[in-house]
Structure 1
Amino acid sequence: MPSPLELAANAFTAAAILLAGRNNVHTWWTGIVGCVLFGLLFAQSRLYADVLLQAFFVATGILGWWRWLHGSNGAPLPITHAGWRSLAWMAPAGIAATAAYGALLHFYTDAYAPFIDSAVLVFSVIAQLLMMQRRIENWPVWLLVNTIAVPLYYSRGLMLTAVLYAGFWINAIVSWWWWRRLAQQQALAPA
C-alpha cells in the first residue's frame, strides 16, 4: 500500500507532467510541490541521486516557470528544436556523468543501484534543461529516463511510482507528437 507521502508526490507530479505535455505553464508550480514530496520519499528509500535530482528540479522549476512566461525578450518562450551541436555532446556527457556519479555513490554511500539511479539523475537533468528552453527533444530524453526509472522504482517497492513513470512513458510519446505539432503551427502563424 502506498504511503500518504508517495500518494501526494505522485498526484502533484502527475499533474505537472500532464501539464508539461500540454505546454501549460502551471506545470512548474505543481512540479515544484511534487519534487519536494518526492525528495522526502526518495531519501527514505536510499535513492540519493534521486534526492539530489528533486532539489535540482525545484531550482530549475522556478527558473523554467520564469523563462516560459518571459522568454529572453519578455515574450513567452516558443517551442523550438535543439540544435545538432547541442544534441551531439549530450549523450557522451550524460554517459560520462552517469559513470562518475554512479562511482561516487557506489564507493561512498549505501545507495541502492547507484549507476542506474545516477542514469535517472543525469538524463533527467538533460531533459529538464531542454524542457526549460521549450525544446522538443526533451521528450525522447524523458522516454529514456522513464524506461530506466520504472524498473528501478519497482525494485524498491515504490509500486505506485513505478506505475506513474510507466504512464509518463506514454505521456512522453504523446507530448513529443503534440509539441512537434505546436511548433509547426507556430512556424506557420503570422509574425
Structure 2
Amino acid sequence: MSMLKDWTTFEKVWIITFSVINIYLFFAWQDSILGLITSITGMVCVVLAAKGRISTYYFGIIQTATYAYISYGYGLYGETMLNALFYFPVQFVGIYLWSKHKAKRMDAEGAEIEMRGLTGRGWFYVVTSFTFVFVLYAFILKGLGGTSIWIDSATTILSIVAQVLMLQRYKEQWLFWISVNVLSILLWLTALITQGGNDVSMLVMWSAFLINSIYGYSNWTKVYKKQMGRAA
C-alpha cells in the first residue's frame, strides 16, 4: 500500500486497532452507522493531521458533517454549531492554506507543510481571547437551553482556537487539542449516562483523538526542530 509507505509502525497499528474496535462496537452495542462513519473518518483525519498531511482535510469534511448531526440529537448545540458552521467550511480553507505552504522537502515523518511555533506574545493573545469568549459563549448556550454548558463552551472555544492555530500551522495547536479531547470525553460520558443512547463510538473516537493529539504534538515538535535547523 503505497499511501502507507512513510507511515510508522505505531501509526499503522494505531489506526487498524481503533478501526477494529469501532467495528466491533458497531455490532456489539448496535451503534448507529453515522457514529461508525464519524469515528473512523475522524481517526484517519487526526492521524493525517499529526503527520502534517493536507489530505487530513478531505476526511475532515465527512467527519464534521456527520458529527454535527449526531451532536444535535443529544442537545449538544455548541458542538453542533461548531462543526456545522465552523469546522465544515474551514476544511476547505485548510486545503487552500496548507497547499500554499508546502515544505521544501518531505522528512521521514511524511510532513508536507512548513510548521511554526508560537511566541510569548502569541501565547498572551491566544489565552486572553479564549478566556473572554469562553465565558461569553457559556451564557449564550445557557440561554439556548443547552446541556453541560460550561464543558460544551470550553470544548467549542478551545476547538476554535486549536483549529485557527492548525490552519496557521502552529505546533502548539496540539496542546489545545489535548484539552479539547479530555473535555469531550467528559462531555459524551455525561450525555450517554444522563440521556442514554448507543453512540459509544463517540467515546472511543475522543479517546483515540486524545492519544493521537499527544502523538501529534511530539511529531510536530520533532519536525519543527528539523525544519528550523535547516533554515538556520
TM-score, with structure 2 as normaliser: 0.76
Q: Distance in 2 between matches of 1:115 and 1:16?
A: 27
Equivalent residue in structure 2 for 1:148, among 160, 183, 189: 183
- What residue number does 2:93 align with? 63
User: Does the 8 Å contact 1:97/1:122 carry over to 2?
Assistant: yes
- Whether 1:105 and 2:158 are equivalent positions in the alignment is no
Match of 2:61 among 6, 13, 32: 32
Q: Name the structure 1 match of 2:203.
A: 162
CA shift at 1:190, angstroms? 6.3
**Amino acid in the other structure paired with 1:70:** K
The structure 1 residue matched to 2:221, chosen from 176, 180, 184, is 180
Structure 2 counterpart of 1:126: 161
Give the counterpart of 1:44 among 40, 62, 73: 73
Q: What code does the residue aligned with 2:166 have?
A: M
2:170 to 123, 135, 147: 135
User: Does the CA-based 8 Å contact 1:67-1:77 persist in structure 2?
Assistant: no
C-alpha change, 1:190 and 1:85, in structure 2 (3 Å) is closer
Contact in 2 for aligned 1:127/1:138 (Cα 8 Å): yes
In structure 1, what is the Cα distance between the partners aligned to 2:127 and 2:205?
Answer: 25
Aligned-pair identity (%) = 23
Tell me which amino acid in the other structure corresponds to 2:216.
Answer: S
Whether the 8 Å CA contact 2:53–2:113 is kept in 1: the answer is no
Asked whether the 8 Å contact 1:38–1:54 carries over to 2, the reply is: yes
Structure 1 distance, partners of 2:75, 2:175, is: 27
TM score, norm. by length of structure 1: 0.92
Higher gyration radius (CA): 2
User: Aligned equivalents of 1:142 and 1:34: distance in 2?
Assistant: 16
- Stretches of structure 1 that go unaligned for 5 or more consecutive residues are none
